Structure 1
């Protein structure tokens, strides 16, 4: 197709006007049928686009001849040879059912590694193990998910889950929580979001990202880090309805706290301190008023049973007798004291039976234990004398808890001492219902 274009010529003598018609060629779809790499151009009808060279060229003068000239250029020929030399990826086309089964097996194994928090390096040995375990399986023979592929699959899974999470946050309300890590090398502030999941029908919490804070850990920088984490994913700040963190001044301070700076961007933001932190502080203050230290008692019980096979056997017998679960005595860290305390309360009666069933031990009967007399130099210490005398009549009348608040297994004063062994302290503690 050609378009007419009129051109006027002017002479200086008689100013005679002469009209000349000029024809311009436009792009024709037949070019793509002949040359598949030639496509329409966004510049207009007088241009064509080459998908191999990734460039536009004019076809207004020669039309099809312009296309032929472009194909004969050195640049285009080099691109053609480069494309022919590259092999096509098999997974870009339609994969067979066998290949899909192998891919599914590799994804399932990657989920297994993530769910059980296994090191990615263990995947280097998985393929060899599966081929030995299942020599007749065609899927096991083609399984090849080592650490490189496992890491790639994990990255794709993370992208997919993050896209779903971000899409949910864009369309609904959510809350944000963050807290600084104790990592000495970098300052990590994980951003955790809580939202309502329509699929699960309940409120869920997920880690959105774990950004690294550069600079000082001030309220301004922490607030800017949280805002940047949301804005970089095109999440509306208005959808964030609450902010939760610990009760440190840098987080919820009225002047320069992170919550104060977040409220400048989100005026309707509700700030909630960490309830677990407050409960922990209250429990810590309450535990200081107890007549003994619970953690020390639990440790004493562990060592009392751990160092004797006979006591372990006796414990199992009395656990069966008292119809309680037979469980192993395990040394417990501080963060698991709640679980150890529950197990101790359930098995307190059995432990008392174990100790009472061994009368030949010194700790079996407190009635036969006599506190050494105090010297005159130590008679001024009334608190120690009250504690020692209270132990003597512990089997006759209850001892006020205030008298045992600061009881220690070995209290020395002057040249005399008031000593109680671990077994004696445990029996005294376990036989009192108030302590339980």
Structure 2
């Protein structure tokens, strides 16, 4: 309960009586009853711990609240602290204190400053190293002592104290925001393309974000894309290219992500993932061959996968057969290049495997071993494997070519057309393939275009092996019919997934480094019209002039790809130091 103190004036002395008679106002002052503020209790004057957590400028001095910014003690409770915090004088003092440098930092030597800077630099570089190579943060628990012992003469290694917690915070609070901000600025200053796919792997590519989706519908994926651009303050209208796998949720023409993006960016260039497309083409073509071929691949791998003893015995047969001591590979449905490598490895180990399974059947008579041996002893299976080794090599090389780090958009159509025509000539009459009929209009499944059965080409190894065999013509024809079906299915799938008459793909060929420096080359008009958001209308004239001036440039002979051309021409300057091609080539 609050207490109020009521004071009465003391009895006047003779001297004070004489003084009061001279002034009536003083008499009124003596008779006035005064009411004072509540007297704080001893407990309320103490500084509490919860205040220190709430008010960072508050410190405890002798159990009293002390403002280190204003250099004064504060009386009262929490409400008094909040009221003090709003004072203009306190706000000014806080700002001054933030800008002030401690005396310790002022007196630090230049050598010490250099050591601290080197220490911070080392910590940041280590954090980037962990993030780039996807190393565990737990590694840092032992790295500090390890580096100090490894480099005893290094002061940086001795001072390098950065455990997993600090390393995590460095990446989250320093490196990640910096990289994200820089990437956002770059995307806002240029046109760019995106590729969307589910992922479980590690990559060093520039990724601005990833999201975990509970429902992978096209509407949800599209909304996440838009939110990602909005959160990072990236203008989505700078998007000029979009790539993804061939799932209908991504590439659907009505409600797919592609269709939704085209509604807001009509000039968007859409390209399905070529690696995924080629994998699907090869997988569907392989289904027309005998199913025991794939079964054999799985049975051979499974027979050795979980037995160190069998692998050791196989190594002995590899030495005896003078075969490379390579391990057998596992067929996979998700690794796109695995089918070719599995087939190639079985062909390489054919003799060693045959000798091994002959012993297995004689000793144990295992059912799986008997099946594998029957297949290995069947020359028809060997013909099929040699055929697959040949044709899958072509597809794999094309697949690997487009997985290059450097851009290949300008040679995409040229390379895939070359491989496609090569495969067509294995089973279709040359006059059809070499005719003036557009490639997109040649039906690879038309029997009228087929060569005679004996002229169908299966690859040099398969052809030589067939010649060395004593197979009857019926068996040989049966093999060639299956291979013909394979070719027909493969080319039909490629034709369905690649539009050889696509105008954009044909336009992009003019950017080939082999042709851009020639005197006679196509105009950029069609390409600029296709991508109107890349160049402003007021710069079109300068762009065309720069394109024509390329014929006067003689680049170094070692320039082979578009990236090297861009880097070279970005540095080309005229006599007064100005860039020669500021509109044509931009970083």
Q: Distance in 1 between matches of 2:133 and 2:148?
A: 22
Q: Which residue of 1 aligns with 2:243?
A: 244
Match of 1:310 among 309, 313, 324: 313
Superposition pairs for residues 239-388 of structure 1, below 5 Å?
239-304=238-303, 306=307, 307-308=309-310, 309-318=312-321, 321=322, 324=324, 326-329=325-328, 334-336=333-335, 338-339=337-338, 341-342=340-341, 344-346=343-345, 348-353=347-352, 355-356=354-355, 362=361
In structure 1, list runs of 5 or more residues that go unmatched: 1-51, 54-71, 183-191, 193-203, 370-408, 411-418
Q: Give the secondary structure class of the aligned counterpart of 2:177.
A: helix
Superposition pairs for residues 141-290 of structure 1, below 5 Å?
141-155=158-172, 156-179=174-197, 206-212=206-212, 217-290=216-289
Q: Distance in 1 between matches of 2:184 and 2:229?
A: 9
Whether the 8 Å CA contact 1:175–1:240 is kept in 2: the answer is yes
Distance verdict in 2 for CA 1:82–1:233, change over 3 Å:
closer
Q: Which residue of 2 aligns with 1:432?
A: 382
TM-score (norm 1): 0.54
Q: Distance in 2 between matches of 1:239 and 1:136?
A: 52
Q: Give the secondary structure class of the aligned counterpart of 2:275.
A: helix
Whether the 8 Å CA contact 2:244–2:271 is kept in 1: the answer is yes
Considering fraction of residues, name the structure with more helix: 2
Note the aligned Cα RMSD (angstroms): 4.4
Post-superposition Cα deviations, 1:225-282, rounded to whole Å, max 9, x if no partner, equal: 2223223333333321122233333333333332222222212223333333433332
Cα distance, 1:303 vs structure 2: 4.8
Pair 1:75 & 2:90 matched: yes
Post-superposition Cα deviations, 1:132-159, rounded to whole Å, max 9, x if no partner, equal: 3334432222111111221233232223
Cα distance, 1:119 vs structure 2: 1.4
Worse overlay, 204-213 or 112-121: 204-213
Distance verdict in 2 for CA 1:149–1:361, change over 3 Å:
closer
Q: Give the secondary structure class of the aligned counterpart of 1:290.
A: coil
Q: Give the secondary structure class of the aligned counterpart of 2:382.
A: coil
Whether the 8 Å CA contact 1:315–1:351 is kept in 2: the answer is no
Whether the 8 Å CA contact 1:352–1:427 is kept in 2: the answer is no
How many residue pairs end up in the alignment? 291
Distance verdict in 2 for CA 1:132–1:362, change over 3 Å:
same
Cα distance, 1:175 vs structure 2: 1.3
Distance verdict in 2 for CA 1:73–1:205, change over 3 Å:
closer
Higher relative contact order at CA 8 Å, sep ≥6: structure 1 or structure 2?
2
Q: Distance in 1 between matches of 2:206 and 2:362?
A: 53
Distance verdict in 2 for CA 1:122–1:88, change over 3 Å:
farther
Distance verdict in 2 for CA 1:294–1:146, change over 3 Å:
farther
Q: Which residue of 1 aligns with 2:136?
A: 119
Q: Give the secondary structure class of the aligned counterpart of 2:206.
A: strand
Whether the 8 Å CA contact 1:429–1:435 is kept in 2: the answer is no
Post-superposition Cα deviations, 1:174-231, rounded to whole Å, max 9, x if no partner, equal: 112223569xxxxxxxxx9xxxxxxxxxxx95312114558x6443443232223223
Distance verdict in 2 for CA 1:317–1:104, change over 3 Å:
farther
Whether the 8 Å CA contact 1:127–1:145 is kept in 2: the answer is yes
